[in-house]
Amino acid sequence: MPTSHIPSQDFGGDGLNLLFLHANGYPPACYRPLLALLAKSTHVTAMLQRPLWKESNPEDFRDWSLLSEDLLRFLDENKSAAPITVLGHSMGGIAALRAALRQPQKFQHLILIDPVLLPPSYIALWKISLTFNFAHRLHPHITSTLYRRREFEDLDLLFKRYRHRPAFKYLDDDALCAYIEGITSHKENGGYQLIYSPEWESRIYYASIWNDMEIWRALPKLKVPTLIIRGAETDTFWKSTARKVKRLNPSIRIETIENATHLVALEHPQKILEIIQNFLTDF
């Protein structure tokens, strides 16, 4: 059952209204360093996507297009009459992009950080993998995520453990602390627990890109001013994808940040702020 009212978090600030959409497995608080910088010149609101709704059921989720429908409903619920600027990371970027392709009049700017937009050949392979039940081999996180540790006694020990993980090599200590605090909450009987359900995280991976050809077909018609920021070492928004996007729609601006991965939003908040500010100044 869909929630009666889509929840959100207000990160403060004044000026241009900016709506933020988080990635799979990364609640909005994980982005505290970036959102705090943005709140110095914009009013930042983060919409909580389906995996963070209390009554949501991952078994009911079949298709990422639902995330775009949620965004459009959120805008209607909050009476966002004027076009709005939306910033989305990873699946949040795709949710924003698909929504803007459907109802462009609702969007003033699109800012997509390492969106999960893969080439048509990979989309075709993914559809085959779903048909013949080997998607978990193409995307091992579908299975491994379900075995994530869900409860923790001490966040300092968790920080020390994560500090040495290759996935977080470009995060400074403040960013890593924000990530750890963002994915956990206090338990009533002491200790901490994951906020984001591993079942939901796995389901999001599984249901991801199988119908994304509709995005590629519609992309040349996109008129909303759009910025894509990618990490040079990303495994999600490839160089070949960037080239294809530019061929289809040369008006889309694409910026690459060096020494950055798919987690570029956590790794380089100051650089991302500067790129966004330059983009908004031009549009």
Domain range enclosing 43:
8-282
pLDDT at position 270 is: 98
Domain contains 242: yes
pLDDT at position 210 is: 86
Q: Look at residue 129 and give its three-state secondary structure.
A: helix
Whole-angstrom CA distances from 249 to 93, 209, 254 are 17, 20, 11
The token duo for 161 is 């453990």
Taking CA 203 as the corner, what is the angle to CA 197 and CA 206, rounded to the nearest 5 degrees?
Answer: 150
Residues ≥6 apart with Cβ < 8 Å to 224: 100, 104, 107, 108, 109, 110
User: If you ran DSSP here, which 8-state letter would residue 208 be given?
Assistant: S
pLDDT at position 61 is: 92
Distance separating the N- and C-terminal Cα atoms of the chain: 39
CA–CA distance, 25 with 202 (Å, rounded to integer): 9
User: If you ran DSSP here, which 8-state letter would residue 147 be given?
Assistant: G
CA–CA distance, 150 with 183 (Å, rounded to integer): 10
For the chain, how many structural domains are there in total?
Answer: 1
Beta bridge partners of 256: 230
String of DSSP letters for 216-280: HHHGGG--S-EEEEEETT-SSS-HHHHHHHHHH-TTSEEEEESS--TTHHHH-HHHHHHHHHHHH
In 3D space, the residue among 204, 237, 196, 67 whose CA is nearest the CA of residue 135 turns out to be 204
Q: What is the CA radius of gyration of the chain?
A: 18
pLDDT at position 131 is: 84
CB 28 within 8 A of CB 48: yes
CATH of residue 80's domain is 3.40.50.1820
Largest pairwise CA distance in the chain: 56
CA 17 remoteness from chain centre: 18
Domain contains 245: yes
Domain contains 64: yes
Domain contains 1: no
The token duo for 261 is 């991965």
Domain contains 3: no
Which residue type is seen at 54? K
CA 177 remoteness from chain centre: 19
Residues ≥6 apart with Cβ < 8 Å to 96: 21, 68, 71, 86, 87, 88, 107, 110, 112
The mean pLDDT values, 10 residues at a time, for the chain of 283 residues are: 82 95 98 98 97 92 94 90 91 98 97 96 87 83 91 95 96 98 94 96 91 95 98 96 97 98 98 98 90
Domain contains 214: yes
- What is the number of other CB atoms lying within 10 angstroms of the CB of residue 83? 16
User: If you ran DSSP here, which 8-state letter would residue 22 be given?
Assistant: P
Domain contains 112: yes
pLDDT at position 264 is: 98
Residues ≥6 apart with Cβ < 8 Å to 255: 227, 228, 229, 230, 275
pLDDT at position 19 is: 98
